[in-house]
Structure 1
């Protein structure tokens, strides 16, 4: 209908509808902030626009007006319900609804247990329900004030169309679209159902891994106590560590330990990941391939348990795949982070208490895996707020500019380096705890190994920041080893090329494991170690020495 043919309504009707729109968007955004970060609340506000901006368009018919009011109320109610559920879970458990903690709990709950839970926590749930009902009632009242006859001025109409286009584009962009309540909760229900099915499958996978480990009949050389700690980081590139010669002082604590320990702390200069993403990298790291024959591999955790080690998996990640394929093979599996995804917070220092408890356990033989977030994007969430150690311009900035890197990549490099600096304090502290525990037992075998699952591109080989399977930076990692016993008499261990997908064999040596089919040529500490170049993309493989 052309605007110039619409009859003139009472003055201020369009203005009232605009106020109602602004009030709904503002009020729901404030509500969403209780369960979302500020950035995600802003994203949801954009996704919300189509259902709210409908209030501004003229609908002269009474029935159309009522239907629009009902639609806007239901539409906004979905966003309000999403915010209420997230707020409740955040307050009660510090967990996001798509965390493995929540999905696992729901997948493991039946209707009877659910009703019992609801009765137990009725006061808290009831409080949120009342708040939700009041918010929906307010939205319904505002939705009744939609524009009925007032023509929308041409400029305002263009602005509305532009806003709708932005919202449509946001819906087309997967990281935004998955936040939309209908999309998110539909996917969430599928995740719950999928987890129930995956449990059955992974229970069988883990049972086979344990049986295979038992059939290998592993044993531990020596009768004394043994403690081995593996610290796994995420997305740490050795080129950003001052321990490896980087220009910014990103690893002062580890550098100090290296000066103190000398050759007792092995800093492998030329270490490479086999994959550029976490789960495939961990799958390779823990697999002990019996001769690359394509058969089923031994899993290091299962092998250590079969040999008599008590095992721990202490994680600051929230990842269902890692939990099912690796963590649940341990005797004790602890996850401290319950907010999955890149925007999930949770500083790595939170795992320290669990590491101390594991080290203090009375088991004579302990294998402790510590899985840290490290410098996983978003980098700014990986260190305490306000501790941007490299805010001032320096030679690294000048080098990035000379290489043609953008301002954005330069800024992300600063955040990444600040994350490495914080990460240095956590990693060095864990080594300190291991050494302190070793001091009263000089006869014990005590070892510590630190690796990153993969590297990170932060302007090294391209004007890009993030996971990078196509550049060498995506695979360059640190590899550090300490133990309380002398290293074997082998030539220049620190300069040997090292593959993280073979790290399980080196860890088996540190654990003093022996079994039929053991292949020492994959162990970087062994005299017969035989380097074989990784099968990586061409530009990456050419960066790795033969």
Structure 2
């Protein structure tokens, strides 16, 4: 009797351990489904086994069976905690598909504390499960009638569950196998995209784009990564993170428009860029790409980047006439500094082409933050200022405050690079002609603003709050009243291509002036974000 009681206690222990980790990673309905799928391994412990070798095999098999469910629960719980996303969401799939060994190492270096906690929890659960699995029912006890009926009923229930595809595909082994296939399919879809680029150029020519302005025209588009406008002193932040841009703002007056209420509609790079260059509808049947339209209209297009990123290169970079990559180390988390692009921009500005669109793609403040500025050049390190005091007041941990210090140092270096691109856009190359410069970030970043963490954040408004700045040398565009209105109105980055077409002076079939933030016909429509935003003009 004592042996039977111990075996039932072992079943209960394994069930409870698996349930705990499953609850952390799944919602209520799926918790029930997962636990039904897990029952065959659990009830096996309640069946008497006489052979000692078979008993050891059962112990190992049940432990591995339970471990699969526990790892599944722990992985999902980590993703929910860190990114508020499921493993099969587009956010996670695109991020993993676009990650290499070096970037993974940098990610582990940044988030090792959280990962260590989950590893300890998982190891503890695995050890407890191994002990419980050894307590399965042994020889000398025959199964009673009710024992047999109960086991058969449980097995019948699980057979029905496994016969249902929606239930069966939740099993960790099947789910993660399918997840790996989806990941491989996604990666394969990023290769061999020349045909798609050619098709985009055909669609662009069919839209009959024409340049309305005569004479030379040079437009510089600076796209950066992971910049939250709340951390820019240009936008009122307490630390001096953008002194150079603020100097230009005073010097250039109404020629430089700082859009105070700019938003991304995506919290990660790949979907943000697809929306940005695809006019907010990159999956439409007749989708246009901004770079293809520029080329079809007669612009020579450059794409120069500090991102060694195959997806971005294939989807956007190779759409240009000239593609330049200064980052020679694989992975967005490499230590290549954005300043390396300044010479490339200088060369492009000197090119004799009459019409030029130059896209400069920066790393910005993409984590790991302390790789985004020269080593040792952090004036905010261990700073005891008002920003630090406010973070302490809000209960932010010491490591989150350290991330903020590194993040702000990255923004200070970023200010230098962005200001240099503005200066080159204004003065480099052959004098005269129409010139414009546009700067914005792909998405924001959470660095202790709304939660005690640092990194990409699809579940907080910080993940979508971005800077957007425009400079034009056209005197007619410097009217104070017009620019004041543009600065205060909300702006969304998936409509940025409409504004870019305005700077390029391109007229084309499909133009929508109501989505061009520089047009008097502009009409704001709030995007549908996965987070609640009380106001887009805060």
Asked if 1:527 corresponds to 2:486, the answer is no
Q: Give 1:222 shift.
A: 2.0
Are 2:306 and 2:362, in contact at CA under 8 Å, matched by a contact in 1? Answer: yes
- Taking the aligned partners of 2:276 and 2:488, their CA distance within structure 1 comes to 20
Q: Give 1:467 shift.
A: 0.3
Asked if 1:537 corresponds to 2:530, the answer is yes
- Taking the aligned partners of 2:369 and 2:188, their CA distance within structure 1 comes to 33
Distance 1:488 1:258, change over 3 A: closer
Q: Give 1:199 shift.
A: 3.4
- Taking the aligned partners of 1:193 and 1:459, their CA distance within structure 2 comes to 35
- Taking the aligned partners of 1:344 and 1:193, their CA distance within structure 2 comes to 26
Distance 1:415 1:365, change over 3 A: same
Distance 1:196 1:403, change over 3 A: closer
Return the match for 2:398 from 384, 407, 414: 407
Are 2:226 and 2:364, in contact at CA under 8 Å, matched by a contact in 1? Answer: yes
Deviations 1:363-407 (A, max 9, x none): 000000000000000000000001111122111100000011111
- Once the two structures are overlaid, the 10-residue window that deviates more, 334-343 or 498-507, is 334-343
The equivalences for 1:117-516 within 5 A come to: 198-200=190-192, 202-288=193-279, 294-341=284-331, 343-391=333-381, 392-437=383-428, 441-442=431-432, 444-486=433-475, 487=477, 490=482, 492-516=485-509
Q: Give 1:545 shift.
A: 4.1
The equivalences for 1:4-83 within 5 A come to: none
- Taking the aligned partners of 2:523 and 2:537, their CA distance within structure 1 comes to 13
Aligned to 2:191, what secondary structure does the other structure show? helix
Partner in structure 2 of residue 8 of structure 1: none
- Taking the aligned partners of 1:194 and 1:281, their CA distance within structure 2 comes to 17
- Taking the aligned partners of 1:453 and 1:358, their CA distance within structure 2 comes to 23
- Taking the aligned partners of 2:202 and 2:351, their CA distance within structure 1 comes to 26
Q: Give 1:258 shift.
A: 0.6
Distance 1:445 1:415, change over 3 A: same
Aligned to 1:337, what secondary structure does the other structure show? coil
- Taking the aligned partners of 2:239 and 2:486, their CA distance within structure 1 comes to 26
Are 1:472 and 1:543, in contact at CA under 8 Å, matched by a contact in 2? Answer: no
Distance 1:484 1:197, change over 3 A: closer
Distance 1:415 1:327, change over 3 A: same
- Taking the aligned partners of 1:342 and 1:543, their CA distance within structure 2 comes to 33
Deviations 1:33-61 (A, max 9, x none): xxxxxxxxxxxxxxxxxxxxxxxxxxxxx
Partner in structure 2 of residue 23 of structure 1: none
Distance 1:198 1:262, change over 3 A: closer
TM-score by length of 1: 0.63
TM-score by length of 2: 0.64
- Taking the aligned partners of 1:387 and 1:394, their CA distance within structure 2 comes to 18
- Taking the aligned partners of 1:192 and 1:459, their CA distance within structure 2 comes to 34
Distance 1:302 1:293, change over 3 A: closer
Q: Give 1:288 shift.
A: 2.7
Aligned to 2:467, what secondary structure does the other structure show? strand
- Taking the aligned partners of 2:427 and 2:101, their CA distance within structure 1 comes to 38
Deviations 1:170-226 (A, max 9, x none): xx9xxxxxxxxxxxxxxxxx99999787433x1221111010001011000122010
